[in-house]
Every structure is written in structure tokens, then in C-alpha cells.
Amino acid sequence: MTVPAFGLGTFRLKGQVVIDSVKTALDLGYRAIDTAQIYENEADVGLAIAESGVERDALFITSKIWVSHFAKDQLIPSLKDSLKKLRTDRLDLTLIHWPSPGNEVPVAEFMGALLEAKQLGLTRQIGVSNFTIALMKEAIAAVGAENIATHQIELHPYLQNRKVVEFAQSQGIHITSYMTLAYGEVLKDPVIIEIAKRHDATPAQVTLAWAMQLGYSVIPSSTKSANLQSNLKACELTLTDGDMAQIAALDRGHRLTNPQSVAPAWD
């Protein structure tokens, strides 16, 4: 079982907005949906899925455990609560959303609880998000790299996170890129605009295709049907080696997500 290359993100979307986004995406053919406990939209996502009529077995649903639920006696109950909200008996992928602030709950404790959730059939795969190389090493020591399906990190042309990517890939851990479009910043980049013109594509399609061509999964979000449909077409776009080299040169270590309460000391 692998993590789908393309899915729908739901960060910052709530209520009818997220319901409409998920239902529209499913109508268009999306089958992977990414949410999280802290997004406070799992119940809305669950409702949208139920109303879509798409069979559960056709879907790949990801959620993420929030830091306040990391303790061994809390993680599985919190996951069961997420399942109830999402109206399903299991997730396809469950991630640790951020490292435990100040190492309050040791990595071995929450990864052990997450592995137990997998063994209980509450989730088919497990993984991590926003980890440094040092934290990944701890997670691997706790549960084995073979049990870490993906590492979800901020990754876009302006923050290519190469050290973390190289370490994860050396351990056989897949990369999922979030914020691939950098809140739209990279869509104004002249290099990406020029590549898009050459391919008769949009800058968003070029950026998403770049990430997928590097082997990463992407989970862009949108509230507009036209953008959801357009983004999906990135799966059909193939960039040249020259295009890929031009985008590789855009890296400038420009990090957009760095919440003081949970962010680690980045690599």
C-alpha cells in the first residue's frame, strides 16, 4: 500500500466551505483527503464524504494527531474520536502532526501508541509530520522505518528541504509536500510563469507536477471548482530536465510555517 501522489488538503477550511470543497473534489475524481484534529473540520469532512456517495474503500483518508493527545493513554482514544467524526472505522494514514513541545511526551511513547493503533486496525499506515532529522531518527528507533509510511513537511520551490528529504528517502520513507504552492507566492515567480507558458499550463500545475516528478505526494486545497479541476491536471503534466533544474535553483530556505508553540529547531 502506498500514499497517493495527489490528494486534497483541508487546512483552514471549515463548515460549509470544507463540505463544498470535499464534495466538489470527490465529484471531480479526487480520492485522497487530508485533514487533522487541530483543523476542527473532521466532522465536516466526514459529512461531505458520507453525502458524496463515494465508497469508503475507494478513498484514502489521512488525519493527524494533535500534540495534546500524545500521551500513551490519550492517543488511541483521540484517534477513535477522529474516526467517529469522520464516520469511518479506520484511517488509511495517521500522522503525528508536530513534535511534542519541549519533548514533553517522548517520541518513543507516542510512536509506540501510534503503532499500537495500527496493530489494532484503527489505521492502515502511520507516519510523521514536521520532524527534524534527529526526531526522525528517534521515530525510526521506536517503531522501525518500515512502519513510517511518509513524512509530511512544508516543501515548495522556495523551501526544498533537501537535507530532510535526503535522510527520509535514505530510510525508505516517502515524502508528502504540504503548502506546495507556498500560499500562492510561487505562482507569481517569473521562472515558473515562463515554464507554464512553454507547456500551456498554469503555474500551479507546473509547481504540483514538479513536486510529483520528484516523487513527492501533494495535497493542495482550494474552495473553487475550477481550481480543483485545474490542479488535478498537474498529474498529466511532464516537465523537462531543464524545467526541473530551473525550479531547483529557486530554493531560498523561505519557510512559511513556523509556529513557536510546536516548531522544532529546523535542520
Q: Which three cell numbers stand for residue 23?
A: 464534495
Chain centroid to Cα 14, Å, comes to 17
The DSSP bridge partners found for residue 125 are: 93
**Cell, residue 225:** 471548482
Q: Is 97 annotated as a binding residue?
A: yes
Separation CA 43–CA 40 (nearest Å): 8
Active site residue 39: yes
Q: Which grid coordinates belong to 17?
A: 466551505
C-alpha 55/C-alpha 49 separation (Å) is: 9
Catalytic residue among 39, 158, 178, 183: 39
Sheet with 91-96: strands ordered across = 8-9, 32-34, 60-65, 91-96, 123-129, 150-154, 174-178, 217-218
Tell whether the torsion through CA atoms of 146, 147, 152 and 153 is positive or negative: negative
Q: How far apart are CA 35 and CA 45, in angstroms?
A: 8
Strands 150-154 and 217-218: unpaired
Question: What's the full length of the chain, in residues?
Answer: 267
Strand partners, 9: 34
189: DSSP letter: -
Handedness of CA 154, 156, 158, 160 (dihedral sign): positive
Catalytic residues, by residue number, are 39
Residue list, annotated binding site for substrate: 97
